[in-house]
Amino acid sequence: MRIVLLGPPGAGKGTQAKAMARELKLAHISTGDLLRQNVSSATPLGLEAKEYMNKGLLVPDLLVTKMLEDRFGQSDVKGGFILDGYPRTINQAKTLDSILDAKGMKIDIVFDLDSSEAVIVQRLSGRLVCKKCGALFHKINMPPKVSGVCDQCGGSLYQRDDDKEATIRKRLAVYREEVTALLEYYRAAKLLTTVSADDEASIVLKKIIDRARAL
Ligand SMILES: [Zn+2]
């Protein structure tokens, strides 16, 4: 089974992708991880990507595409995969289709984790990080024993700029604008299944697994 997983920041996409891979015995292909692995093992593609990153530039689509082509050729992918973090645009979706087509493969289902803005803002804006040791807390879901103080090292907790409400709302607006056409593309291909991600992670996972197994 070959799955594409889409969802806004804060919808729990990474967590779901890992759990899905475990439950359905599929390879988890995260383009973020793929890029980091290529860079850290200094593959030719990784070295090329690093040049862009060092200059503070985005890694070009073509490089990511080549990394994906490599990855799809590896043996653990034969039993199927979950693609996480790609595609983000219609062009990437079309590229993905043609890479897979060349290998005699195709996407079987696309899950879109749909989360309301209020829930995402609550989840992300509640995050607190320890200045000293980097431990993570959450104002509501995982509060520290003493407000503003790290349980582990006593360091002080702060909110990252990325987790401030205004930044989150901006990121969500950018995401929504980008993803609308992509969702239409997969809807037209009759591959799209929308799953509400506002529930607890285990409930969301069960809905996805049941749907995937019914294919
Ligand atoms: Zn700490």
Q: Above 90 in pLDDT, residue 106? A: yes
What is the distance in A from the centroid of ligand 1 to the CA of 160? 15
pLDDT in tens, 138-150: 998 899 999 999 9
pLDDT in tens, 20-31: 999 999 999 999
pLDDT in tens, 162-195: 899 999 999 999 999 989 999 999 999 999 999 9
| Cβ 144 vs Cβ 38: under 8 Å | no
Q: Above 90 in pLDDT, residue 114? A: yes
Helix (H, G, I), strand (E, B) or coil at 3: strand
* Residue type for position 64: V
For 185, what's the count of Cα atoms within 13 Å in the CB-facing half-sphere? 20
Question: How many residues are listed for the chain in this entry?
Answer: 215
Q: Between helices 165-188 and 117-125, what is the axis angle to 10°?
A: 140
- The torsion angles phi and psi of 37, rounded to 5 degrees, stand at -65, -40
pLDDT in tens, 58-82: 999 999 999 999 999 999 999 999 9
Helix (H, G, I), strand (E, B) or coil at 200: coil
What is the distance in A from the centroid of ligand 1 to the CA of 164? 20
What is the pLDDT, as a whole number, of residue 141?
87
What is the distance in A from the centroid of ligand 1 to the CA of 159? 14
Residues annotated as part of the active site: 13, 88, 127, 160, 171
What is the pTM (predicted TM-score) of this model?
0.88
Beta bridge partners of 195: 113
Given CA atoms 49, 3, 185, 206 in this order, what sign does their dihedral have? Answer: negative
